[in-house]
């Protein structure tokens, strides 16, 4: 084999590729004019229609300046750990709660609530270890350590209720390196960091440490945000409008006993807190506030802290210019069919008691169904209580999605028996499945994997191991629903139900998404759409 490769290489003439005359990026500012009170960011990308260039959506990205501020009415210890007190729970992609996209005034993607959860699942199920090395750090994406998830039945240094805090979770340390960066005084200062738009942390008063501000620059590749961006071909003269809803939250804790975190009162814009404690911050008795948001953050004293890195959001467009002959070849047959996956708005079933059976409608009618994602979490009325079983107290418990102590993944020990999906009244599985080895090996491993999760050639992907799945926070249920006997059957709208039994000792909530195929035709020379 080696000899053949050497011979082939010696006989192969190296040719230059003159397909493209140029490739460059342009930053397009948002249309908000510095106003982000609605937590929405809009870009009217009319600039892309002025140049004789083609947009590569899969190589483009969003640039979101995000601020998180920790304030305390008592002095925190003046040490390096207290500057590493908070991190972003998931990747930068999880900041985008939902978005809408139109091309040449045709709606392609509409707002669909809480899309950050399936985005994170796709990263976990499709990334290889090499992908994690290349993209993980840039996107603030790291896999939370399976063994670090625990349940705190009372106030604890690692929080209350479900917790991913502490040194045992290596993801938090990886995130801290990026999000809590401080310049080395020998080589740079704060001005250098700001000029480079590098995420960093600032202690407003180190002598009396009461305010710590994190200036984060979230760069979000569009190809990971939604399947449509990955599937779009190079297109010329697109008039695009993109609007994103961005997560933000405010957490307040009254700490009675030093070094123990109590119940947190959380207010979030879209029922998700994107920020969590890292376990590094040593709490002192007093009131602690954690405020996060785009553009600016209002702290307990009423001051406004702007992001030092930038005051606006940008669309970073990747653009190509063909040479004339190559462009003529590319547009000679201009119509392209774009097939991509969409997800339905999430459907949630709450307060499922231990041992309870469910017969849960996900949707009444949907055609071209491709898959189902199901996430199981501790119910919001029990998380943080002495036991997450049957005693309920909505006043003192908190949702894991909002908790500043939890990474908001699946509950440890998630287990369903008698599980099945009813599509149009017909069971998907011939026999009900007892959640465990079968669903992991037959479904989840193959969900978004290279080569369909099959062995061979060293080409496999997915970061969720079976131990992660059965023992830790990665007990996602994924069901492939793409097999049909004919296109006619595929196109018939069908109802979808989930059936099963909660085989745990905890009261749980289920969040479910359906994936379906969508498509349109686009003229790559004009970006005109035929849906």
**What pLDDT is stored for residue 531 in this prediction?**
66
Reduced DSSP (H G I as helix, E B as strand, rest coil) percent helix, strand, coil of the chain, to 5: 20, 40, 40
Phi, psi of 313 (to 5 degrees): -105, 150
**DSSP SS3 for 331:** helix
**What pLDDT is stored for residue 79 in this prediction?**
80
Distance of alpha carbon 342 from alpha carbon 99, whole angstroms:
12
**What pLDDT is stored for residue 321 in this prediction?**
94
Q: Is the pLDDT of residue 393 over 80?
A: no
**What pLDDT is stored for residue 458 in this prediction?**
38
Distance of alpha carbon 426 from alpha carbon 369, whole angstroms:
14
Distance of alpha carbon 230 from alpha carbon 59, whole angstroms:
9
In CATH, the architecture of 335-530 is: Distorted Sandwich (2.70)
Distance of alpha carbon 203 from alpha carbon 201, whole angstroms:
7
* Residue 229 burial (10 A CB sphere; 0-12, 13-18, 19+): buried
**What pLDDT is stored for residue 451 in this prediction?**
38
Q: Return the domain boundaries, the chain.
A: 19-116+184-331, 335-530
- β-bridge pairing 20-29 and 265-268: unpaired
Q: Is the pLDDT of residue 380 over 90?
A: yes
> pLDDT digits over 154-199, tens only?
999 999 999 999 889 999 999 999 999 988 777 888 888 888 899 9
Distance of alpha carbon 459 from alpha carbon 450, whole angstroms:
6
DSSP 8-state assignment for residue 193: H
Q: Is the pLDDT of residue 11 over 70?
A: no
Distance of alpha carbon 120 from alpha carbon 222, whole angstroms:
14
Distance of alpha carbon 341 from alpha carbon 434, whole angstroms:
28
Q: Given the structure tokens 């059936």, which residue do they identify?
A: 499
- C-alpha distances (whole Å) from 462 to each of 34, 279, 427, 488, 521 are 39, 28, 28, 33, 31
Binned at pLDDT 50, 70 and 90, residue 246 comes out as very high
- CA neighbor of 155 nearest in space, from 285, 259, 267, 85: 259
Phi, psi of 489 (to 5 degrees): -65, -40
Mean of pLDDT values over 233-247: 95
Distance of alpha carbon 77 from alpha carbon 287, whole angstroms:
15
Distance of alpha carbon 379 from alpha carbon 349, whole angstroms:
10
Q: Are 28 and 45 in contact (CB under 8 A)?
A: yes
- C-alpha distances (whole Å) from 401 to each of 39, 335, 469 are 18, 43, 19
**What pLDDT is stored for residue 371 in this prediction?**
94
- More confident call, 8 vs 219: 219
- CA neighbor of 420 nearest in space, from 514, 509, 500: 500
Q: How many CB atoms lie within 10 A of CB 187?
A: 7
CB-based contacts of 92, cutoff 8 Å, min separation 6: 64, 139, 140, 141, 218, 219, 220
Q: Could you give the residue ranges of the DSSP H alpha helices within 153-267? A: 170-179, 190-195, 222-225, 227-231
Binned at pLDDT 50, 70 and 90, residue 450 comes out as very low
For every residue of 444-474, which 3-state class applies, written as one string? HHHCCCHHHHCCCCCCCCCCCCHHHHHHCCC
Cα torsion through 130, 132, 135, 136, rounded to 10: -160
Mean of pLDDT values over 272-290: 91
The whole-model pTM stands at 0.91
Average pLDDT, the chain: 88
Distance of alpha carbon 320 from alpha carbon 25, whole angstroms:
9
Phi, psi of 17 (to 5 degrees): -100, 115
Which structure tokens are listed for 448?
A: 């978004």
Q: Are 176 and 161 in contact (CB under 8 A)?
A: no
Which structure tokens are listed for 429?
A: 């599985």
Binned at pLDDT 50, 70 and 90, residue 460 comes out as very low
Cα torsion through 234, 235, 238, 244, rounded to 10: -30
CB-based contacts of 9, cutoff 8 Å, min separation 6: none
Percent of the chain with pLDDT over 90: 65
**What pLDDT is stored for residue 205 in this prediction?**
65
Sign of the CA dihedral 453, 455, 459, 463?
positive
**What pLDDT is stored for residue 454 in this prediction?**
34
Judged by average pLDDT, the poorest of 126-135, 271-280, 352-361, 447-456 is 447-456
Q: Are 221 and 135 in contact (CB under 8 A)?
A: yes
Percent of the chain with pLDDT over 70: 91
Distance of alpha carbon 276 from alpha carbon 176, whole angstroms:
12
Distance of alpha carbon 381 from alpha carbon 379, whole angstroms:
5
Mean of pLDDT values over 105-122: 94
Q: Is the pLDDT of residue 78 over 60?
A: yes
**What pLDDT is stored for residue 281 in this prediction?**
86
Phi, psi of 401 (to 5 degrees): -65, -30
Number of helices (H), then strands (E), belonging to the chain: the values are 11, 29
> pLDDT digits over 33-60, tens only?
989 989 999 999 987 877 789 999 999 9
Q: How many CB atoms lie within 10 A of CB 425?
A: 8
**What pLDDT is stored for residue 193 in this prediction?**
86
**DSSP SS3 for 216:** strand
Which structure tokens are listed for 305?
A: 């802290």
Judged by average pLDDT, the poorest of 202-206, 463-467, 500-504 is 202-206
Judged by average pLDDT, the poorest of 52-66, 150-164, 366-380, 448-462 is 448-462
- More confident call, 65 vs 18: 65
Q: Given the structure tokens 């809009």, which residue do they identify?
A: 42
Distance of alpha carbon 278 from alpha carbon 290, whole angstroms:
12
């Amino acid at each position: 084999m080696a000899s053949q490769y050497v011979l082939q290489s010696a006989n192969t003439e190296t040719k230059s590729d003159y397909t493209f005359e140029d490739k460059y990026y342009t930053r397009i500012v948002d249309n908000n004019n510095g106003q982000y009170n609605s937590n929405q960011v809009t870009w009217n990308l009319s600039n892309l229609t002025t140049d004789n260039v083609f947009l590569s959506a899969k190589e483009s990205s969003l640039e979101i300046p995000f601020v998180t501020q920790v304030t305390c009415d008592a002095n925190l210890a003046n040490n390096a750990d207290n500057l590493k007190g908070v991190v972003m729970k998931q990747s930068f992609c999880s900041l985008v709660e939902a978005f809408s996209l139109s091309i040449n005034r045709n709606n392609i993607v509409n707002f669909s609530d809480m899309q950050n959860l399936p985005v994170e699942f796709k990263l976990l199920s499709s990334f290889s270890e090499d992908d994690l090395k290349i993209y993980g750090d840039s996107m603030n994406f790291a896999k939370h350590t399976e063994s670090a998830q625990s349940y705190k039945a009372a106030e604890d240094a690692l929080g209350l209720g479900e917790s991913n805090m502490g040194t045992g979770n290596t993801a938090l340390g990886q995130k801290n390196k990026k999000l809590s960066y401080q310049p080395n005084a020998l080589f740079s200062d704060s001005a250098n960091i700001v000029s480079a738009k590098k995420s960093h942390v600032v202690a407003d008063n180190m002598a009396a440490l009461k305010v710590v501000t994190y200036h984060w620059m979230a760069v979000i590749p569009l190809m990971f945000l939604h399947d449509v961006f990955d599937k779009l071909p190079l297109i010329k003269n697109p008039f695009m409008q993109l609007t994103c809803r961005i997560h933000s939250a405010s957490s307040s804790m009254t700490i009675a006993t030093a070094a123990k975190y109590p119940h947190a009162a959380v207010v979030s814009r879209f029922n998700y807190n994107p920020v969590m404690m890292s376990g590094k911050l040593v709490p002192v008795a007093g009131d602690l506030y954690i405020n996060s948001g785009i553009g600016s953050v209002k702290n307990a004293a009423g001051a406004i802290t702007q992001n030092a890195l930038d005051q606006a959001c940008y669309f970073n467009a990747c653009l190509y210019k063909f040479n004339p002959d190559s462009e003529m070849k590319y547009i000679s047959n201009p119509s392209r069919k774009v097939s991509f996956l969409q997800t339905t708005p999430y459907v949630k079933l709450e307060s499922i008691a231990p041992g309870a059976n469910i017969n849960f409608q996900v949707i009444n009618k949907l055609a071209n169904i491709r898959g189902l994602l199901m996430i199981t979490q501790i119910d919001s009325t029990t998380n943080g209580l002495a036991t997450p079983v049957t005693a309920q107290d909505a006043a003192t418990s908190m949702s894991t999605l909002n908790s500043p102590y939890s990474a908001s993944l699946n509950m440890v020990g998630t287990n369903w028996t008698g599980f099945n999906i009813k599509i149009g009244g017909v069971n998907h599985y011939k026999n009900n499945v007892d959640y465990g080895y079968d669903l992991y090996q037959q479904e989840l491993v193959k969900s978004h994997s290279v080569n369909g999760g099959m062995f061979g050639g060293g080409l496999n992907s997915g970061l969720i191991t079976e131990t992660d799945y059965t023992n830790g926070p990665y007990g996602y249920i994924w069901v492939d629903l793409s097999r049909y006997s004919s296109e006619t059957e595929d196109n018939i709208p069908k109802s979808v139900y989930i059936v099963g039994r909660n085989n745990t000792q905890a009261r749980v909530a289920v969040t479910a998404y359906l994936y379906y195929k969508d498509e349109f035709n686009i003229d790559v020379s004009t970006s005109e759409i035929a849906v």
